[in-house]
Amino acid sequence: MIKKIVLMGNPNVGKSVVFSRLTGAKVISSNYPGTTIDFSKGKMRLDEEQVEIIDAPGTYSLESSNKAEKVAVKMANDADVIVNVIDATNLERNLYLTLELLEGDKPVIIALNLWDEAKHIGINIDEKKLEKILGVPVVPTVALTGEGIKTLVSRIKEAKSPKKIKPTVEEGRWIEIGSIIKKVEKVEHRHHTLRDRINDLTIRPSTGIPIALGIIFISFWIVIFIGENLSLLISEVFERGYKPILLGFGEIIGDGHIYNILISQDYGEIVFSESLGILSTGLYLPLAVVLPYIIAFYFMLSILEDSGYLPRLATLVDNVFHKLGMHGYGIIPMFLGLGCNVPGALATRALETRKQRFIAITLLAIAIPCMAQMAMIFGILGPYGIYYIGIVFLSLIILYVTIGFILNKFIKGTSPEIFLEIPPYRLPSLRTTGKKTWMRIKWFLKEAIPFMIIGVAVINILYTAGLLQELARLLQPVMEGLFGLPGEASTAMITGFFRKDLAVGMLLSLDVNAYQLVIAATMLTIYFPCVAAFIVMIKELGVKDMLKSAAIMLSTAAIVGAVLKIILIGV
Amino acid sequence: MHKKGIPLVHLQKGKKGKIIYIHGGRHGGSNFGHHGHYGFRNRLNVLGIREGQIVKVDSKQPFMGPITISVGNCQMTLGRGMAHKIIVEEI
């Protein structure tokens, strides 16, 4: 009786795509290790029965070398059937895990994935012969298009543990693999393909660095273009469709505290970006201002991930990141952090040492604004011109580099070198990219909206109770003397703990000029992560290290605020 | 004709070499933090990079940056320190 099926395979073999084909469930699949550590689980129908199916983390061998691989091994031990997904373009290397699996006593079936690609580059595999030699079913698949998946499902019950492979040591396995390869694989001589040329150009420093800058520039341009236009569109819906309804609802409630909390501080008037009502600003900011950029950002990020470009970028920037105490892989948490600091912090797990992770997380919290916050920064500073937005981002870039450099000098521990597989370029499929973007958007909505509503409610209640005004009065000397900001800016700083985007939005209602907005927006980015990111960072670093990290954040924010004030406004 | 091996890091860009030895055995390689118990050699081996294989240097990043190599259909980036531990014979 089959109850649990586990997918096992090397990283980058399209295992997650096979998984999503089998289950139809929503899974995230990517080219780099960070996201597959959290495994996916789903259900599939097999002979009228519901069967559990698990996508184990990618592993090269059962002699696990890291946490994710240990998880994979445990999962294999619990399986009723193991579906071993192997990369037909890299048969030799993939067979190592296969032999290890076949030495055990779990029934195995093999999905020979990337079958089309193997043929395309001149690798011909006699799958029937391979099936005969290994003694288990071997099904060629192209997970991206779904080819072969039906056959795979129909043959799952044929999976077996033939005991044809005698347990041996590493050396013995490689000899065995060599003899299998000789019998089943024919490689035609291949010419340099366009893909090889692109690969070469993007990894060679002289051409790769200009291309990388170009790709990053174009990506951000696309994000801003899509984001801006979507935002205009959704705002229109809010203004024309939602506002009349909300005004009507307001008349029913009548003026009072409930009206203030739900709709607006001023009776009868709704300015979506400033009114601070749960039903007005609380919905408008996440849906009309932030969501458009989130959609655009994750769409571009998914394309960059699925194409396989990120490991090349990591190679090109390794040098710089090594000086900051990390290695090239550090660009991945940074990139993810530009979407949201939470997945960014989770991705730091792929860095090997405590020192690297501490630096990566601290820099993430200080210098990487999330897309939500960036959207708001564009929103409030955009009208004044690109120059002001430029100051904010230039300050953050300078901080990222200087603080990384300093931390690398003073934090104890080692920073191992980069060791990263470069998967071949693959054309991202619209289906996988779309699915992944959708998953991330759903995640954003689930995470952002509750915090936004809580944030708006807390601020609103504190405001109604008069506590915020009191605090603003108390902090007035510090805010004004040190940072050149009005006392009320302290309110935004408190709000920033709940949602940074909401906090930036609150600056709008202050009577400030462009330079003051620049100072406040920069400080809001640096001083502390939002509560969601903060919780994840505590989990990743532990309380002690997080306290250290937080001390660095707060002092950096104070110094940067003061320095910017002197430069921009004068003493 | 037996040529003396050189560290992979000294192989020029675009050149190929046959791997004759990889330093950093199963229980060595403290270079990898908590992966320490699992040697450098093993990490390479499971990727299909072993003694006897032909390795090609695809690119070298400037200022002591990492190098990118390929073995068969597998391409990877590794630091120069690691590339020092792979001894090859130029072909």
Three-class HEC string of A10-57: CCCCCHHHHHHHHHCCCCCCCCCHHHHCCCEEEEEEECCEEEEEEECC
**CA-based max dimension of chain A:** 83
pLDDT per residue over A377-427, tens digit each? Answer: 998 999 999 999 999 999 999 999 999 999 999 999 988 999 988 988 888
Burial (CB < 10 A; 0-12, 13-18, 19+), residue A476, is middle
Q: Which two tokens stand for residue A288?
A: 């009309």
pLDDT per residue over A83-136, tens digit each? Answer: 999 999 989 989 999 999 999 889 999 999 999 989 888 899 999 999 999 999
CB contact under 8 A, A421 and B78: no
CA distance A28 to A24: 12
CA nearest A268: which of A247, A241, A249? A247
pLDDT per residue over A463-517, tens digit each? Answer: 888 888 888 889 899 899 999 999 889 888 888 888 888 889 888 888 899 999 9
Whole-model pTM: value is 0.84
- Any chain A CB within 8 A of the CB of B82? yes
pLDDT for residue B29: 38
pLDDT for residue A31: 36
CA distance A532 to A452: 11
Which residue is closest to A200 within chain B, CA to CA? B58
CA distance A241 to A366: 39
| Complex-level ipTM | 0.84
For residue A420, give the H/E element and its range: strand A419-422
CA nearest A37: which of A441, A364, A341, A346? A346
pLDDT for residue B61: 93
For chain B, list the domains and their CATH numbers.
Answer: 6-90 (2.30.30.90)
Backbone angles phi, psi at A257, to 5 degrees: -60, -40
Backbone angles phi, psi at A188, to 5 degrees: -80, 150
Quick one: pLDDT band at residue A29, thresholds 50, 70, 90? very low
Lowest pLDDT segment from A57-71, A114-128, A255-269, B42-56: A57-71
CB contact under 8 A, A204 and B65: no
pLDDT per residue over A157-182, tens digit each? Answer: 999 888 777 788 888 888 899 999 99
CB contact under 8 A, B32 and A92: no
Give percent of chain A with pLDDT exceeding 70: 96
pLDDT for residue A443: 79
- Any chain B CB within 8 A of the CB of A120? no
CA distance A276 to A452: 11
Cβ atoms A291, B36 nearer than 8 A: no
SS (H, E, C) B28-91: CCHHHHHHCCCCHHHHHHHCCCCCCCEEEEEEECCCCCCEEEEECCEEEEECHHHHHCEEEEEC
Cβ atoms A525, A500 nearer than 8 A: yes
Smallest Cβ–Cβ distance between B31 and the set A96, A208, A416 belongs to A416
- Any chain A CB within 8 A of the CB of B65? yes
Quick one: pLDDT band at residue A458, thresholds 50, 70, 90? confident
Residue to substitute from A419, A421, A422, interface B, most B β-carbons within 10 A: A419
**Would you call A147 helix, strand, or coil by DSSP?**
strand
CB contact under 8 A, A422 and B77: yes
pLDDT at A238 over 90: yes
Cβ atoms A338, A361 nearer than 8 A: no
CA nearest B32: which of A340, A379, A356? A356
Q: Please identify which residue in the block is written with the tokens 């408008």.
A: A284
Q: Give contacts of A 190-249 with B, CB under 8 A.
A: 199-200, 203-205, 208
pLDDT per residue over A353-385, tens digit each? Answer: 999 999 999 999 999 999 889 988 998 999 999
For chain A, list the domains and their CATH numbers.
Answer: 4-187 (3.40.50.300), 205-414+444-568 (no CATH)
Cβ atoms A328, A454 nearer than 8 A: no
- Chain A hits for B33, CB-CB cut-off 8 Å, are 352-354, 414, 416
Cβ atoms A110, A148 nearer than 8 A: no
Backbone angles phi, psi at B59, to 5 degrees: -160, 155
Handedness of CA B12, B16, B21, B26 (dihedral sign): positive
* Beta carbons within 8 Å of A433's beta carbon, 6+ residues apart: A299, A302, A303, A306
Handedness of CA A284, A286, A290, A295 (dihedral sign): negative
CA distance B61 to A417: 13
pLDDT for residue B34: 40
SS (H, E, C) A315-347: HHHHHHHHHCCCCHHHHHHHHHHHHCHHHHHHH
